[in-house]
Structure formats: structure tokens, C-alpha cells
Amino acid sequence: MTKQPTGKTALMKFEDFPTAIPALGEPKVQTPIEKYAMVDRHGRVLEKSFVSDTDRVAVHDSLDYLESLAPGEKPLAMELAGPRSQIYFDPSKVHCAIVTCGGLCPGTNDVIRALVLELYHLYGVRHIYGVRYGFQGFIPRYGHDLMDLTPEAVANIHIFGGTILSTSRGPQDTGEIVDALDRINIRILFLIGGDGTLRAATEICQEIARRELHIGVIVIPKTIDNDIPLVSRSFGFDTAVEVATEAIHAAHTEAIGSPNGIGLVKLMGRFSGFIAATATLALREVNYVLIPEADFDLDGECGLLANLEWRLQQRRHALIVVAEGAGERYFTEENRERDPSGNLKPGNIGHFLQDEIKNYFKGRQMEINLKYIDPSYLIRSRPANYNDRIYCGFLGQNAVHAGMAGKTAMLVSRWHSHYVHIPIEAAVGKRKDVELDSPLWRSVIESTGQPPLKNL
């Protein structure tokens, strides 16, 4: 009897998961990337190798999964990223555009810079344009000019936060976007954005196909929350965790500096608690971590407030980290707002907890000193740290290789230490969660010692 794979990811079957990357046509242009000799420590001469479309990376690398395959059944695998020996576009003629969409994120400028330098220096592309203010930049009535992107224009942008192209939220007419792409002769569109951008990219690709245009669309996934599926780590996440730990450390210092001190830190994480969980492990000073994936009660013998009271009686201080999307059941749709894209915003869990904690201890006639810290905008606007900068460089380079090879309707990802191509279809509309039986969350529980916070 064969073993059955366990866990949500392992249950994904090959036939249910799209892995084929669409192409604009057969690549017939010899790449301008030259092979060059490399000499190893033993004096052996090695040649730089190119990547083939048949080179694959397994989605699941567990022995249980491999043993569960039927005889002759192929394992689920994704196309390996990297330079191809034959490309689709003539570098001397191709026009490329770069767009940044959604919220600010550390590393966006690094990705832009990597795209431009790779296109310009490695492939010899001379027509590279930056589209200002997201998808608004394609729509004539907004009046946003294109930006010529050259190595000189992007030379120092990586030392700044934000995006040199600026950004915007909210949907724009897909037909008008494709009209603009066709009008200004764009043949490769590089999109830097999150789930909303993936949805828009899907519609753009469908409209391009309907018109039978030869325009490639390559997405570099951007989300601080690290919640895009089949992306092991999104750029900006490492920087976000680093800045979050600074806020947690400050809150802990405040908490231990006064009797019954409580530090309350709200971190980003609308649907997934990766930042809160990872930053907690970075310092191991946190006592309670609240994330969207794990429900909790406020009241009752086993609820947060009673546990917090017990903690103060025992240790005289406490530190709480909460992700912005935690505790959504405490908010109704009527008292929540929507963003320009129509997405329902989470309730303000930080202010809600602040008020609930103060009211609880006021009713118990117990004096507390609560300090509330929300570093969200400090995180969003921060330049990337060195680890994210390196990662952004790889993402940008591999996005260019894919675009020049004529790939389309795909995003660049890192999976099992390899850079791979993911069909947009496989990631759009889906979300990666913190699994409560995962080593990550088990480590958080072991570090904090927090109980389930549920009146079971």
C-alpha cells in the first residue's frame, strides 16, 4: 500500500494544478548573452550553461508524496527560471514597460533597478519605460507621462524606500490599458504587485489574447504579508520582519518599565500572520500572538483578557503582538471600509484591543500602563535590507530572462531554493496561510507559552 501525502499542499494533484507557461511563439533569436569560460579551483574550464524549458523543479519534495505517485505518474513540477539560448524578442527592437501597483513595499525600487540593468546591459534593450502611478499611467485622462528608464535614471534608487514610479490602487479599464500597450508598441510588460495585480494581469492577458497581440506579461509578486501561494518568500518580507522586531523591542522596553506594563504592537497581515509569527520568533519576548488564522476569545475564563490579568499578576508586564486581520469576527461589515479596489478593509483590531483591555482592567479596578505601537507606515516606506536587496536582484533578472524568451501570463517565484516560473492562473485568487500545525506556529506557541485563548 502506498503512503498518502499529508497536508494541504501535498494533497494537490498534478492534473489539478496548472504548470505550463504560455508562450508568445517559438523563440528563434539567438540570445546576446555570451557564453564565457569559468575556471574552477582545480583548473578545469567550465562553460556557462543556459536553461531549457524541460528543466523542472518539483513542487513537493517529500518522500511521502513521491511514494504516493502511481507507476508512471509524473510528479508536480514547475519550469525552472533562467536565461535561454534562444529568445523570442529582438533586443534592438523590443519596447518594455514597468509598472508598480498597490501599496508601498520595501525592495520595489530594487526590482525596478534590476529589471532595467538586466535589460539594458545584458540584452542590449534600449526602449524601457516606467509607467507612473500604477495602471493610471496607461489611461490618457490622468495625464501621467511615461518615464524613460536608463541605467543613469535608476543608479541610486535602491537606497530609497517607496517606488520611483509611484503607485495607485483601484481598477482601471482593461481595454484602455491594452489600447495603451498597443499604441506605444510595448511588447513586454513587467508588473510589480500583489493579488490585485495578479487579477488585473489575468484580465490583461485575456484581452491581449482576444486581440491576438504579441505582448508578454511578467509579474514580480509583491506583498509584505508573504501570502501569495507558491512563493516561498515575497520580497520586502525580510525587511518588514526586521523593522517589526524594532517595534516589538520598544514595546517590551515600555512594558517592563512600569508596573503592570502592557506593550501592544499591531503588525501588517490582513489575511495571513506571517510577519507577526516570524517577528515573534526573532525576539522571543512576546507573550501573546494574535493572527487571522487562529480564532481567540476576549472574555471568559480562557479568553485573552483573563489570561492577560493572570500574566500581570505573575510577571507584572506583558507583550501582545497582533496582525491587522486578526479578530475579524469582532467587526461587522457595516463598520468596515473598502479600499479603492473594492476590497473590504479589516477592522482596526489594534485600537479595538486597546479599548477592550483598558475597559476590562478599569472594571477590575486594576491600574495598567498600556503602550500601543503601530509601525505599519514605517515598514512600508523603509528601503530594503541587504537580504531583500539580493533577493530583488534575482527576481528582476529572472523576470527579464522570462520576458525576453517570450514567456507570458506568469510570475517569478523562488521555490525549494530555485527560481521558477508560476502560471498566474495557479496563484490568482488564492492565499497562503500560516498553518496552525506547522513548525512555524508550533515554534511561536512554544516561544510564547500562550494557551489556546478559547473557551472550549
Q: Which set of grid coordinates corresponds to residue 315?
A: 510577571
| Tens-binned pLDDT, residue by residue, of the chain (456 aa) | 333 333 343 344 444 567 889 999 999 999 998 877 788 899 888 877 899 999 999 887 777 777 777 887 777 889 999 999 999 999 999 999 999 999 999 999 999 999 999 999 999 999 999 999 999 999 999 999 999 999 999 999 999 999 999 999 888 999 999 999 999 999 999 999 998 999 999 999 999 999 999 999 999 999 999 999 889 999 999 999 999 999 999 999 999 999 999 999 999 999 999 999 999 999 899 999 999 999 999 999 999 999 999 999 999 999 999 999 999 999 977 666 776 666 667 789 999 999 999 999 999 999 999 999 999 999 999 999 999 999 999 999 999 999 999 999 999 999 989 999 999 999 888 899 999 999 999 999 999 999 999 998
Residues 117, 212, single domain; the answer is: yes
Q: Which residues fall within 8 angstroms of residue 51, CB to CB, at 6 or more apart?
A: 80, 81, 82, 83, 84, 401
Q: DSSP string of 160-175?
A: SSS-TT----S---HH
What local confidence, expressed as pLDDT, does residue 407 receive?
98
Closest CA to 177 of 144, 150, 153: 144
Residues 216, 323, single domain; the answer is: no
Strands (E), 67-139: 77-80, 86-87, 95-100, 127-131
Contact 149, 128 (CB under 8 A): yes
Residues 79, 126, single domain; the answer is: yes
Q: Which domain holds residue 145?
A: 45-232+384-415
What local confidence, expressed as pLDDT, does residue 17 receive?
63
pTM: 0.91
Q: How far is CA 148 from CA 97, 131, 151, 437, in A?
A: 10, 9, 10, 49
Closest CA to 306 of 370, 251, 361: 361
3-state helix, strand, coil in the chain (%, to 5): 35, 20, 45
Q: Give a yes or no: residue 389 inside a domain.
A: yes
Q: Give a yes or no: residue 8 inside a domain.
A: no
Residues 50, 132, single domain; the answer is: yes
Contact 109, 156 (CB under 8 A): no
Sign of the Cα torsion 438, 439, 443, 444 reads negative
Question: Cell 506593550 belongs to which residue?
Answer: 263
Q: Give a yes or no: residue 97 inside a domain.
A: yes
How far is residue 176's CA from residue 247's CA, in Å, rounded to a whole number? 43
Catalytic pick from 16, 40, 64, 225? 225
Radius of gyration of the chain (CA): 24
What local confidence, expressed as pLDDT, does residue 303 receive?
97
Angle among Cα 99, 103, 104 to the nearest 5 degrees reads: 85
Q: Please indicate whether residue 295 is annotated as part of the active site.
A: no
What local confidence, expressed as pLDDT, does residue 6 receive?
37
Q: Give a yes or no: residue 87 inside a domain.
A: yes
How far is residue 256's CA from residue 196's CA, in Å, rounded to a whole number? 41
Q: Give a yes or no: residue 5 inside a domain.
A: no
What local confidence, expressed as pLDDT, does residue 52 receive?
93
Q: Which set of grid coordinates corresponds to residue 9?
A: 499542499
What local confidence, expressed as pLDDT, does residue 388 receive?
97
Burial class, 77, CB count within 10 angstroms (exposed 0-12 / middle 13-18 / buried 19+): middle
How far is residue 155's CA from residue 366's CA, in Å, rounded to a whole number? 57
Helix or strand or coil: residue 274? helix
Task: Please give the tally of structural domains in the chain.
Answer: 2
Contact 323, 271 (CB under 8 A): no
266 has which bridge partners?
A: 322
Q: Which set of grid coordinates corresponds to residue 65?
A: 508524496
Measure the N-to-C terminal CA separation of the chain; round to a whole number of Å.
Answer: 38
Sign of the Cα torsion 273, 276, 281, 287 reads negative
- Strand order of the β-sheet with 369-373 is 288-290, 317-323, 261-267, 369-373
What local confidence, expressed as pLDDT, does residue 1 receive?
32
Residues 200, 251, single domain; the answer is: no
Q: How far is CA 311 from CA 245, 256, 350, 451, 454, in A?
A: 22, 13, 20, 12, 16
The CATH number assigned to the domain holding 252 equals 3.40.50.460
How far is residue 424's CA from residue 280's CA, in Å, rounded to a whole number? 32
Residues 394, 375, single domain; the answer is: no
Query: Which residue type, as a one-letter code, is found at position 368?
Result: I
Residues 268, 219, single domain; the answer is: no
Residues 247, 139, single domain; the answer is: no
Largest CA distance in the chain: 78
Residues 112, 172, single domain; the answer is: yes
Residues 361, 269, single domain; the answer is: yes
Residues 255, 199, single domain; the answer is: no
The CATH number assigned to the domain holding 101 equals 3.40.50.450
Residues 98, 218, single domain; the answer is: yes
Contact 20, 40 (CB under 8 A): no
Q: Give a yes or no: residue 163 inside a domain.
A: yes
> How many other CB atoms sit within 10 Å of the CB of residue 6?
13
How far is residue 304's CA from residue 310's CA, in Å, rounded to a whole number? 10
Q: Give a yes or no: residue 429 inside a domain.
A: no
Q: Give a yes or no: residue 24 inside a domain.
A: no
> How many other CB atoms sit within 10 Å of the CB of residue 207?
18
Q: Which set of grid coordinates corresponds to residue 284?
A: 522571543
